[in-house]
């Protein structure tokens, strides 16, 4: 990359984060000849899988799909052991990839990016880390994660509690022994639902505080068969290519008939069959369930019936039953023995709808009915998803514009990759991209490859800065809104809409049109001279700018 007119930069690209997005970005950019530095706040690689060490943590995408697809060697040399990999196994995979591709030498660990300031005249970023160091680079690639900024609720008295407190996303590396302890878990999203059965095995008493009951699907985890692994390796190129051009980035079975058009008894037989396949295969079996409320209600009622057959106490079953939003309207957790855990004598369900939390006290949690005295509280209360990891960094674009302020009315981006006012900043799986509603590996690979190819094109043309135009952002916002109108996501409150964070502007934050459609849009824009981006050509430090808006 020519550094025309710019001060001597420390490198061409700074990569923020060394999770799976950051690792692939480092690899892809380095392979394309870019000099780079990466910063990671953890002491090793893995990102979300480095931090989420809570008991029961495992992926809800099948292992053979939840891995890098860009390299046949990586696929051949790593052997997954279970249908759904555990957190330790996924973390070991991240460590192994980092070593196998020799990525660690580019990464400064234990170092958090605290600030990034863009110099508009010379088109470069100065990135500040929490050790006070400054690094200058032409581009910043934010691989800071979609679900990586933990949040705890603004509960009155939260600091008065004298016991231990935990968040799944910041779990102690040495683990926690709950044997004989009284524990409260607040939150029954994917994290809570995975850890509750595990904590219940050891705790003397477990109080589960639920605000919204979850539809949860049995994972039906099992060891992987050697044949499956060999078959996936042998057909990897073809399977990966096919997956890249699917809606979800996963080769799911072709959906069957519409649920509404399937007569009884075939309907129940099909639901039963798919229920026993487990996980997301259940919801993806019928194409109308995610778009038609009537079809959705049939499936939801089937799941509620399953719940009632598992939970022995009818009153507990009633409290656990989701009724006021469609199945799949919020992220569906996959579980192992979650509902059955409520049959244990040491587990108590507290439904916030029946007894609202008043405050935390020195000894536990006070509700309108009583105080639950506990030794530890686990805040499984989620994250400031999709935007939090970015807005928690003080990012300053043109004219000192702060990203946090710019997004205060809701994140606005072009393709989820770039934002007006912040030239030369790319976000991997950023808000308004398919990200969390597709296989994260597929989303990450598509973004990293698009960014790497874009930077190569800019280098070839001696372009120094690239920035989304306001009209392109508006167009993309319309695409995001139009796509979600055809789904049931707007019928539930969820973190996809930002409703889980107090004060966050309500806005649907994921592109739901599918990874296949999205990929075509991104490729089309790149090949059409980066339509919707403003490119600035080579210039001197006091520039005469060649500004090309395309």
Residues that bind ligand NAP in the complex, under the rule CB under 6 A: 58-60, 147, 153, 168, 186-192, 194, 209, 211-212, 331, 352, 380-383, 436, 495, 500
CB-nearer residue toward ligand NAP: 125 or 171: 171
What is the number of the residue whose Cβ is closest to ligand NAP?
189
Nearer to ligand NAP, 4 or 158 (CB): 158
**For residue 536, which of 212, 120, 178, 24 has the smallest C-alpha distance?**
120
Kindly state the smallest distance separating residue 544's Cβ from ligand NAP, in Å.
48
Q: Is 65 left (phi over 0), alpha (psi -120 to 50) or beta?
A: alpha
Residue 212 or 429 having the CB closest to ligand NAP: 212
To ligand NAP, the closest distance from the beta carbon of 356 in angstroms equals: 9
- Nearer to ligand NAP by Cβ, of 115 and 359: the residue is 359
- Among 515, 513, 438, 525, CA closest to 473: 525
Least Cβ distance, residue 154 to ligand NAP (angstroms): 8
Report the largest interatomic distance among the alpha carbons of the chain, rounded to a whole angstrom: 76
Q: Which is nearer to ligand NAP, 182 or 211 (CB)?
A: 211
Based on the number of CB atoms within 10 Å of its own CB, is 50 exposed (0-12), middle (13-18) or buried (19 or more)?
Answer: buried
Angle at 25 between CA 24 and CA 26, to 5 degrees: 90
Q: Which long-range contacts (CB under 8 A, 24 or more apart) does 67-75 make?
A: 67/93, 67/441, 68/20, 68/24, 68/97, 68/441, 68/445, 69/236, 69/240, 69/243, 69/244, 69/441, 69/442, 69/445, 70/24, 70/445, 70/449, 72/236, 72/237, 74/100, 75/232, 75/233, 75/236
Q: CA–CA separation, 208 vs 402, rounded Å? A: 39
Contact predicate 243/440, CB 8 Å = no
Nearer to ligand NAP, 191 or 465 (CB): 191
Contact 74, 68 (CB under 8 A): yes
Rounded to whole angstroms, how far apart are CA atoms 219 and 275? 10
Q: Write down the least CB distance from residue 126 to ligand NAP, Å.
A: 32
Task: Tell me the closest approach of the beta carbon of residue 149 to ligand NAP, in angstroms.
Answer: 11
Q: Which is nearer to ligand NAP, 397 or 434 (CB)?
A: 434
**Of the candidates 383, 382, 386, 384, the residue with the CA atom closest to the CA atom of residue 480:** 386
Shortest Å distance, C-beta 509 to ligand NAP: 12
| Beta carbon nearer to ligand NAP, 382 or 421 | 382
Phi, psi of 84 (to 5 degrees): -115, 115
Closest distance between ligand NAP and the C-beta of residue 499, in Å? 7
**Closest distance of CB 263 from ligand NAP, Å:** 35
| Nearest distance, CB of residue 195 and ligand NAP, angstroms | 9
Q: Cβ(18)–Cβ(98) under 8 Å?
A: yes
Q: Which is nearer to ligand NAP, 441 or 530 (CB)?
A: 441
Q: Which is nearer to ligand NAP, 127 or 176 (CB)?
A: 176
For residue 328, the minimal CB distance to ligand NAP (Å) is: 12
What are the two backbone dihedrals, phi and then psi, of residue 219, each rounded to the nearest 5 degrees? -70, -35
Give every strand in the sheet of 376-379, ordered side by side. Answer: 164-166, 376-379, 182-186, 205-210, 347-351
């Amino acid at each position: 990359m020519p550094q025309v007119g710019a001060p001597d930069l420390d490198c061409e690209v700074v990569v923020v984060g060394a999770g799976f997005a950051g690792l692939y970005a480092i690899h892809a950019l380095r392979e394309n000849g870019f000099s780079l530095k990466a910063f990671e706040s953890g002491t090793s690689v893995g990102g979300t899988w480095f931090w989420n060490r809570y008991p029961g943590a495992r992926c809800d995408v099948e292992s053979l799909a939840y891995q890098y697809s860009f390299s046949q060697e990586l696929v051949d040399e790593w052997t997954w052991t279970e249908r759904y990999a555990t957190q330790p196994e996924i973390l070991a995979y991240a460590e192994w990839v980092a070593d196998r591709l020799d990525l660690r030498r580019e990464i400064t660990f234990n170092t958090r990016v605290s600030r990034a300031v863009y110099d508009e005249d010379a088109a470069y970023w100065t990135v500040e880390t929490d050790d006070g160091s400054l690094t200058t680079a032409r581009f910043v690639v934010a691989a800071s994660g979609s679900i990586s900024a933990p949040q705890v609720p603004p509960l009155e008295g939260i600091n008065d509690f004298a016991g231990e407190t935990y968040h799944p996303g910041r779990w102690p590396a040495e683990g926690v022994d709950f044997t004989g302890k009284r524990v409260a878990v607040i939150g029954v999203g994917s994290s809570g639902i995975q850890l509750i059965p595990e904590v219940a095995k050891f705790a003397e008493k477990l109080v589960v505080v639920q605000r919204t009951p979850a539809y949860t699907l049995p994972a039906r985890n099992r060891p992987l068969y050697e044949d499956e692994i060999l078959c996936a390796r042998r057909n990897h190129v073809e399977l990966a290519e096919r997956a890249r051009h699917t809606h979800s980035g996963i080769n799911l079975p072709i959906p069957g008939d519409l649920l509404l058009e399937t007569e009884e008894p075939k309907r129940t037989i099909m639901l039963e069959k798919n229920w026993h396949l487990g996980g997301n295969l259940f919801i993806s079996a019928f194409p109308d369930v995610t778009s038609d409320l009537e079809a959705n209600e049939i499936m939801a009622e089937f799941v509620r019936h399953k719940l009632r057959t598992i939970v022995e106490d009818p009153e507990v079953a009633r409290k656990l039953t989701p009724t006021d939003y469609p199945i799949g309207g919020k992220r569906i957790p996959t579980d192992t023995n979650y509902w059955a855990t409520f049959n244990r004598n040491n587990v108590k369900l507290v439904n916030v709808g029946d007894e609202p939390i008043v405050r935390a006290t020195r000894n536990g949690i006070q509700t309108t009915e009583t105080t639950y005295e506990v030794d530890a509280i686990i805040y499984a209360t989620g994250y400031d998803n999709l935007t939090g990891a970015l807005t928690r960094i003080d990012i300053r674009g043109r004219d000192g514009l702060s990203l946090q302020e710019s997004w205060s009315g809701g994140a606005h981006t072009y393709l989820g990759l770039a934002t007006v006012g912040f030239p030369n900043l790319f976000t991997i799986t950023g808000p308004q991209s398919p990200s969390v509603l597709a296989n994260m590996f597929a989303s990450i690979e598509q973004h990293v490859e698009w960014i790497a190819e874009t930077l190569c094109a800019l280098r070839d043309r001696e372009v120094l800065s690239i920035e989304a135009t306001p009209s392109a952002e508006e167009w993309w916002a319309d695409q995001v809104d139009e796509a979600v109108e055809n789904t049931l996501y707007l019928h539930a409150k969820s973190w996809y809409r930002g409703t889980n964070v107090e004060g966050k502007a309500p806005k649907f934050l994921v592109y739901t049109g599918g990874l296949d459609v999205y990929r075509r849009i991104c490729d089309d824009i790149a090949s059409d001279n980066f339509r919707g981006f403003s490119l600035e050509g080579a210039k001197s430090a006091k520039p005469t700018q060649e500004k090309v808006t395309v």
